[in-house]
Homo-oligomer: A and B are copies of this chain.
């Protein structure tokens, strides 16, 4: 699986690269529109992640030309929250999904997986802890066969916990993986969302699947 990231902010770019690489994708990063277009045509990527705010050639134009040149790879566009019309233009120009900045890296990964699957069979990698089953591809979570509904944030947190079942995850780690770059340390959102998850997962059970490690963070109980 090879992914092209076209993003001019070095900070964001390297953050995305790292995250994707950790998921064992091969990643190429390009910092300007023209170069991105060149690469998109030169290599048969499985996915292209494209920032719309680019120096030189605007993102929408990159996309349009790439499609015109026969690039088939699914494209995920990144936009600022305010640039709604840009987003629309992007989708018109042939994008398959969009993500607004700032975003949580887990969300980007989840969507990337979805796009890759749609394009052609990515590995399933179903996560299972106790009788909770999480399917990262469909984003479905069940307990005891019963479907559980999560919001985006809740799901991202859930997936992160499941992926690291049996390991202690400190709040810093959770912040870094589930929230975005400028996370305020002096807040209790994480606690609150853990509480949301527990409400949905553990309703009416005596022992929570998510354990609190006082002074450090949380841990998803692993089997046994």
A residues touching B (Cβ–Cβ < 8 Å)? 10-11, 14-15, 18-19, 22-24, 81, 102, 104-106, 138-139, 151-152, 168, 170-173, 176, 182, 185, 214-217
Please state if A106 and B138 are interface contacts (CB–CB under 8 Å).
no
Distance between Cα atoms of A18 and B170 in the complex (Å): 9
Please state if B18 and A171 are interface contacts (CB–CB under 8 Å).
yes
Residues of B within 8 A of A105 (CB): 172-173, 176
Which residue from chain B places its CB closest to the CB of A106 in the assembled complex? B173
Identify 9 new A-B residue pairs, CB closer than 8 A, beyond the known A23-B170, A139-B168, A151-B215. A15-B172, A19-B170, A19-B173, A22-B171, A22-B172, A105-B176, A106-B176, A152-B214, A152-B215
Residues of B within 8 A of A216 (CB): 22-24, 139, 152
Please state if B104 and A18 are interface contacts (CB–CB under 8 Å).
yes
Please state if B18 and A172 are interface contacts (CB–CB under 8 Å).
yes
* Ranked 7 nearest A-B pairs via Cβ: A19-B172, A22-B170, A152-B215, A22-B216, A105-B172, A105-B176, A18-B185
Residues of B within 8 A of A14 (CB): 81, 102, 185
Residues of B within 8 A of A138 (CB): 168
Which residue from chain B places its CB closest to the CB of A108 in the assembled complex? B172
Distance between Cα atoms of A215 and B153 in the complex (Å): 10
Which residue from chain B places its CB closest to the CB of A82 in the assembled complex? B10
Distance between Cα atoms of A138 and B169 in the complex (Å): 11
- Distance in angstroms from A111 CB to nearest chain B CB is 15
